[in-house]
């Protein structure tokens, strides 16, 4: 027993299962110089799992190390696969909640890409909150405030409150949900929609590179619902999306029927978690051998995806990953250096000429898309998921 209380359900049966030391605090803040990248702040992951609800969280998380600001480059919308998913999700929300003429609030809205999609209906109005908003004109019906949600009064009551990939960053997620509820004007009863990474994917489906410092929490459908239930909100639905990698939740009026995704018991999840340390070691040993084989013939390994997964993977590989070349389709990342390992991100078009003998795909969801791009560049090297 760790002595910690579960961030989601409040239970006291939390067991440690995996420690990863010295990982970059920000996987998604890239650097314009190698020295800066190598000196980027680092923190420790000391992961625990709640035996009651299966919630996973970082017991060593220090909120003082984390500051979100401009320059946070986590925009995923450059991928056609992700963009198509966001469009489909926005359309689904509009259809099911009839958002014409309604007010939608999005917490941690980034540059407003998703808010714009949700508010594409007739007379929909959107208000977004994000300290990393770069400014500009998000759209005539949208207002984005460069601040954290809940700091200043909301104004018009919302009909839908969206939060995508935000709750996993909070050091007190249950309290944050309670604040989300308290921040709406009295009498308003919006639908809350929440999307987070699905911890079942990491625990069950081998997504071991998803453990990053920025994520305090790794939710399953039960632990996510526990945060909302503790705030007095009625969860009507939980479901998996994006090939099981994401988890969605919605609330509704008290007493409405609920349709909740099946989740293994906390004890079953604890068994899965307990095997992860061995799995990380096995994978790292496997890739160390593969990198050595490629290095022996003077080749290099393209590591496709320089987001969280790529940064975590290359940092855990350490000096053994020296022939790894991070690749990304996001032009904002090209030429910049990854935190920790300090490797420079290249564009796909730069790969021919780099003697690439192996292409690693950090996220299997994009494998088909990436294989197509690699072949169109004339590269015949094997394309393999990590």
Which among 348, 326, 322 is positioned nearest to 336, based on CA atoms? 326
Closer Cβ to Zn ion, 6 or 233, answer by number: 6
User: Nearest distance from residue 16's CB to Zn ion, in Å?
Assistant: 14
Residue list 26-85, contact with Zn ion (CB under 5 A): 50, 52-53, 55
Closer Cβ to Zn ion, 52 or 195, answer by number: 52
User: Nearest distance from residue 53's CB to Zn ion, in Å?
Assistant: 3
Closer Cβ to Zn ion, 56 or 107, answer by number: 56
Which among 73, 93, 265, 312 is positioned nearest to 195, based on CA atoms? 93
Phi, psi of 248 (to 5 degrees): -115, 150
CA angle 206, 227, 83 (to 5 degrees): 55
Report how many residues bind Zn ion under the rule CB under 5 A: 8
User: Nearest distance from residue 103's CB to Zn ion, in Å?
Assistant: 33
Phi, psi of 140 (to 5 degrees): -65, -30
Closer Cβ to Zn ion, 11 or 299, answer by number: 11
Which among 87, 134, 91 is positioned nearest to 109, based on CA atoms? 134
Q: Collapsing DSSP states into helix, strand and coil, what is residue 386?
A: coil
Structure tokens given for 339: 């935190």
Question: Residue holding tokens 């007379």?
Answer: 123
Number of helices (H), then strands (E), belonging to the chain: the values are: 10, 15
381 binds Zn ion (CB under 5 A): no
Closer Cβ to Zn ion, 149 or 218, answer by number: 218
Q: Which listed range, 1-9, 86-94, 173-181, 292-300, lies at the site for Zn ion (CB under 5 A)? A: 1-9
User: Nearest distance from residue 9's CB to Zn ion, in Å?
Assistant: 3
User: Nearest distance from residue 7's CB to Zn ion, in Å?
Assistant: 8
User: Nearest distance from residue 55's CB to Zn ion, in Å?
Assistant: 4
CB 153 within 8 Å of CB 180: no
Closer Cβ to Zn ion, 17 or 304, answer by number: 17
Closer Cβ to Zn ion, 46 or 106, answer by number: 46
User: Nearest distance from residue 65's CB to Zn ion, in Å?
Assistant: 24
11 binds Zn ion (CB under 5 A): yes
List CB contacts of 66: < 8 A, sequence separation 6 or more.
Answer: 25, 26, 169, 213, 214
Torsion angle, CA of 72/330/83/352, rounded to 10 degrees? Answer: -160
Beta strands at 300-304 and 42-50: parallel, antiparallel or unpaired = unpaired
6 binds Zn ion (CB under 5 A): yes
Q: Which residues in this chain contact Zn ion in the complex, by CB under 5 A?
A: 6, 8-9, 11, 50, 52-53, 55
């Amino acid at each position: 027993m760790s002595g910690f209380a579960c961030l989601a359900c409040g239970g006291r049966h939390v067991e440690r299962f995996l420690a990863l030391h010295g990982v970059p605090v920000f996987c998604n803040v890239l650097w314009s110089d190698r020295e800066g990248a190598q000196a980027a702040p680092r923190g420790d992951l000391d992961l625990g799992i709640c035996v009651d609800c299966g919630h996973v969280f970082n017991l060593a998380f220090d909120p003082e190390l984390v500051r979100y600001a401009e320059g946070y480059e986590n925009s995923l919308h450059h991928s056609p696969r992700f963009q198509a998913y966001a469009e489909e999700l926005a359309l689904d929300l509009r259809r099911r909640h009839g958002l014409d003429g309604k007010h939608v609030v999005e917490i941690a809205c980034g540059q407003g890409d998703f808010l714009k999609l949700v508010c594409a209906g007739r007379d929909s109005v959107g208000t977004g909150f994000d300290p990393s908003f770069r400014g500009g004109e998000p759209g005539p019906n949208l207002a984005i405030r460069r601040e954290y949600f809940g700091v200043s009064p909301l104004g018009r009551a919302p009909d839908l409150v969206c939060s995508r990939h935000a709750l996993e960053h909070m050091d007190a997620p249950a309290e944050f949900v309670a604040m989300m509820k308290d921040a709406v004007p009295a009498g308003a009863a919006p639908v809350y929609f929440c999307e987070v990474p699905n911890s079942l994917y990491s625990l069950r489906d081998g997504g071991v590179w998803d453990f990053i410092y920025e994520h305090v929490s790794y939710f399953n459908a039960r632990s996510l619902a526990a945060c909302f239930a503790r705030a007095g909100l009625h969860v009507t639905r939980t479901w998996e999306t994006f090939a099981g990698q994401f988890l969605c939740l919605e609330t509704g009026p008290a007493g409405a029927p609920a349709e909740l995704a099946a989740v293994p018991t906390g004890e079953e999840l604890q068994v899965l978690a307990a095997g992860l340390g061995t799995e990380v070691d096995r994978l790292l040993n496997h890739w160390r051998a593969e990198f050595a084989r490629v290095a022996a013939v003077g080749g290099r390994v393209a590591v496709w995806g320089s987001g969280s997964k790529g940064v975590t993977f290359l940092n855990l590989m350490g000096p053994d990953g020296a022939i790894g070349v991070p690749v990304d389709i996001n032009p904002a990342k090209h030429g910049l250096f990854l935190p920790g390992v300090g490797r420079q991100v290249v564009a796909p078009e730069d790969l021919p000429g780099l003697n690439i003998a192996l292409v690693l795909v950090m996220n299997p969801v994009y494998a088909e898309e990436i294989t197509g791009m690699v072949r169109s560049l004339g590269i015949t090297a094997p394309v393999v998921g990590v």
